[in-house]
Chain A
Amino acid sequence: MSIQPPPPERIDHLVEGMTMLDPSAERGIVVSLPHPDDESFSSAGTMALASDAGVPVTYLCGTFGDMGRRMGSPFFANRESMRDVRERELADACTILGARYELLGMRDRMVEFEDPHEVATRIRAVLERLDPSTVITFYPGHAVHPDHDAMGLATHLAVAALPDPKPRLLAVAVGDREQLRAALGPQHVAVDIRTVRQRKLGALRAHRSQTEMMFQRWERERDDDEQMRAYREENLTVERFYRLNGVAIPLPR
């Protein structure tokens, strides 16, 4: 199929200057993001590589994703059914990735209007219980969606409040590549996910209401410029993260 060419043989150019992370050597991984499907877009390969090696992987999902605009293509969900639809999709994706999930149950789009310290306290309780060696979240202020930024901030606060030794905190940045590079430089940590590329695609497909339009587009190659193709191929080859431990993140007003 056109969207599944073989993975590239060399990845040097994609991970230049970055530390390679081996998820199978972790003690435990918690992925802390706001929506069902954020985990698959950002970290599916890392999650699969860890769980295949017996490393416990948990997706701590902030909301039900129940205010999404995508209803499937053609649509099969509606505003009121969306919550259950997306939780089922999340369960399927997590099965594919060998992960378990927990929901914080916040309302989609409203995370930034919650008290960040309260959300951080809830996240911290989960981290204390699961004791992961690595936590993955969004880079606050560099993640496009306000929920992403807010969940990233709360997770950052939660990790900062943990006793030493703290877990490694990795952050996913979203947006225009050149702008992100200018603001943050290249990512610090990379995971080679070539061996689990199909699992990442499978997890993305499991989030059917949100991704089936994207897959249809990919297959038609419509609206598909060179940058989009490169972006897609890169994200099915490597997952790259910024290290957030010790980075000062300003609190919102």
Chain B
Amino acid sequence: MGPIDPARVQKELDARLGRDVYLHLETTTGSYTALGPEKRTPVIAFVRNASIRYERGLVTGEGPYRVGLKLDSGWVYAQGLTDYTVTERDELLLAGHDEEGNLRVGLQLSLQPFRE
């Protein structure tokens, strides 16, 4: 993974436009926040291998970036994205990392299901 290049990410979003794609979307504080000095409740959510189709998909912002996908009947949204890669399996992975390298948010699209 490396820093998001918005033009390249836009190309990748366009390449998957109008097709049935598998979505992985997540956000996480990590499971151990309750043990930290601030004793915060962990907040974690993910969806893996939901099937979607988007008619419009954009990467926006100056970094960290936002991605919004307009579906036939709904939306997919992620904010705080910093890095991306395209894997050997042609999966588009977008992630937001904190300054220590921890994942905070992830939005991933693939024409084949992500490995279960």
Chain A residues within 8 Å of B, Cβ to Cβ? 67, 69-75, 78-81, 83, 107, 109, 144-146, 175-176, 213, 223, 225
With both chains docked as a complex, state the minimum distance between the C-beta of B10 and any C-beta of chain A, in angstroms: 20
Closest to A216 in B: B100
* In the complex, per-residue mask of B6-37: 1 if CB is within 8 Å of any chain A CB, else 0: 00000000000000000010101111101101
- The segment from B53-61, B63-71, B73-81, B91-99 that touches chain A is B91-99
**Nearest CB in chain B to that of A73: its residue:** B101
Please give the distance in Å from B20's CB to the nearest CB on chain A: 19
Instruction: Say what secondary structure dominates the interface of chain A.
Output: loop
Whether the Cβ atoms of A69 and B91 lie closer than 8 Å is no
- Asked if B51 is at the interface (CB within 8 A of a chain A CB), the reply is no
CA–CA, A118 to B38, complex, Å? 37
Question: B93 is contacted by which of A73, A74, A79 (Cβ under 8 Å)?
Answer: A79
Question: Which residue on A lies nearest to B102, using beta carbons?
Answer: A69
- In the bound complex, how far is the Cα of B97 from the Cα of A213, in angstroms? 14
Known: A67-B46, A78-B95. A83 touches B31 (CB 8 A): no
Question: Which chain B residues border A225 with CB–CB below 8 Å?
Answer: 37
Q: Is B103 within 8 A of A73, CB to CB?
A: no
Q: A70-B103, A80-B89, A80-B108 are in contact. List 14 more A-B contacts (CB 8 A).
A: A69-B104, A70-B101, A73-B100, A75-B101, A78-B1, A79-B24, A79-B93, A79-B103, A80-B93, A81-B87, A107-B116, A144-B31, A146-B31, A213-B100
